[in-house]
Amino acid sequence: MSKQIENHQGFEIVIESEEEGIESLSIAGKSIDLTKTDTGNYITSMMPYTQYGSVLELAKHVVEKAPDFDTISGKRID
């Protein structure tokens, strides 16, 4: 299992990958649903109707646009 940790606008993004390519994503400790499409893109219910070429790209857009994250304070909104 490999783990990638990035910070974006004050939020820690953790991406975990297994040999089978299954990936999990968490942002600021919150698990984010993630699905890989047949075309190899990634989608999440937090950003409907949008596909992303990588999990990191998806995670950055979740931080920037999803209402669960306050990019000014860098805190998750529960």
Domain ranges of the chain: 2-76
Percent of the chain with pLDDT over 70: 88
pLDDT for 59 beyond 80: yes
Q: Listing from the earlier edge strand, what are the strands of the sheet with 11-17?
A: 2-8, 11-17, 23-27, 30-32
Confidence (pTM) = 0.85
Name the architecture of domain 2-76.
2-Layer Sandwich (3.30)
Average pLDDT over residues 58-68: 90
The pLDDT-based confidence of 71 (bands split at 50, 70, 90) is low
Q: What is the DSSP string of 4-43?
A: EEEEETTEEEEEEE-TT--EEEEETTEEE--EE-TTS-EE
The pLDDT-based confidence of 5 (bands split at 50, 70, 90) is very high
- Neighbour tally for 69: CB within 10 Å: 23
